[in-house]
Amino acid sequence: MAFTEFSINRQNDAEALRYRAAADWHYAKVAIARRLEGLIVVGSIALGLFCASSSALQLVPALWALGLAVVDSSLLYHIVLTNRHAGAQLADFFDRYLFSENPNLNLPFPASVDAVAVDSGRQAGLGDLVDRLSNWYDRRLGSFPREIAHLAALRINAFWDASLRGSYIIGLCAVASVIAAAALFLFSRSGMTTERLVINVLIPFSPAILWFVRELVEQIDARARKHDLEQCIDVLWDAANGIGVNRSIAAEVDYLQTLLFAYRRTDGSLPSWFYRAARTRLHRDITLLMARLVQQRRLHQ
């Protein structure tokens, strides 16, 4: 099976930008819900520290905390899951539009896509949309055959995701440890009883505890899956460059794209501020990875 040529400029087609804009629209909703979750978590921590330092039972704050936990675990988390699934589906269509011979045009969220397309048309007139979303992938991918470029894009996606999650997990655990130590210290100063432990500590902190456990489990699982995906892509990358692309390898590449979509749909979201904070380091690491992939490709030509 011969390599199939393709144009990296296809990522800047109106249809490709439409997919990408629609995906970003859903991810923006996820970011808003995550900010509201953050406010609930911060409020829960403040409430918990206040109650832990009090010698009297704090029943009213405990009830407020339970209400916040219900809002977070039901309404806000539902918004996150729904829009994360939609954004992942549309991001997958963007990748398939660029790298597949026959892009799947049966969009599962036509209403959201059409709404974004109208808004995107206005933005495109000002150049905002094109500047923000064009050249999503490194243009050096255009020097690769289509199947090899697709593998390289998968490798980049898996790399930056796993790299960011590792740093986020460490920071999350460090902050949680400090808060837990502070709460236990304040609680111990006013006498330790089971009743005070439940009403003044566990219940007021319940929104933060539930969020932390859910967040930690999701991020650890996501990092492990992306690490495994990296290893699978590396093996396939070596095979494709060594023996060439046959039907079996082409099918594996398509399977890995499907797997990436499944991971995007279920993986926990990272905070938008964390992306911004890591942007410089991430751009540098991806640039180095892309240079290494280009060098490896040249060695096999």
Give the chain's domain count. Answer: 1
Q: What's the whole-number mean pLDDT along residues 156-171? A: 85
CA 70 – CA 76 distance, rounded (Å): 9
Q: Looking at residue 220, what is its pLDDT?
A: 93
What pLDDT, in 10s, does the model give residues 89-119?
888 888 888 887 655 555 444 454 545 544 5
Q: Looking at residue 38, what is its pLDDT?
A: 92
Query: Residue 168 half-sphere exposure, CB side, CA atoms within 13 Å?
Result: 26
In a domain, 287, yes or no: yes
Q: Which of 62-66, 111-115, 167-171, 219-223 has the lowest mean pLDDT?
A: 111-115
Provide the phi-psi class of 104: left if phi over 0, else alpha when psi is between -120 and 50, else beta.
Answer: beta
Q: What's the whole-number mean pLDDT along residues 263-282? A: 82
Provide the phi-psi class of 247: left if phi over 0, else alpha when psi is between -120 and 50, else beta.
Answer: alpha
In a domain, 79, yes or no: yes
Which two structure tokens, joined as six digits, stand for 30?
């996820």
Q: Looking at residue 252, what is its pLDDT?
A: 85
Q: Looking at residue 123, what is its pLDDT?
A: 46
In a domain, 150, yes or no: yes
Distances (CA, A) of 4 to 131, 143, 158, 277, 284: 29, 12, 23, 38, 30
> Which runs of consecutive H residues, i.e. helices, occur in 190-270?
194-196, 206-243, 247-266
CA 88 – CA 26 distance, rounded (Å): 9
What pLDDT, in 10s, does the model give residues 178-200?
999 998 888 888 777 788 888 88
In a domain, 3, yes or no: no
Q: Looking at residue 128, what is its pLDDT?
A: 59
Q: What's the whole-number mean pLDDT along residues 162-182? A: 90
In a domain, 144, yes or no: yes
In a domain, 1, yes or no: no
In a domain, 2, yes or no: no
Collapsing DSSP to helix, strand or coil, 12 comes out as: helix
In a domain, 69, yes or no: yes
Q: Looking at residue 171, what is its pLDDT?
A: 92
Contact 10, 135 (CB under 8 A): no
List CB contacts of 147: < 8 A, sequence separation 6 or more.
Answer: 3, 4, 240, 245, 249, 250, 253
Q: Mean pLDDT over all residues of the chain? A: 81
- Model-wide pTM > 0.85: no
Query: Residue 235 half-sphere exposure, CB side, CA atoms within 13 Å?
Result: 8
CA pseudo-torsion sign 52, 57, 60, 63: positive
Domain that holds residue 70: 8-299
| Cα radius of gyration rounded to whole Å, the chain | 23
CA 220 – CA 237 distance, rounded (Å): 26
CA pseudo-torsion sign 252, 253, 254, 258: positive
% of the chain at pLDDT higher than 70: 86
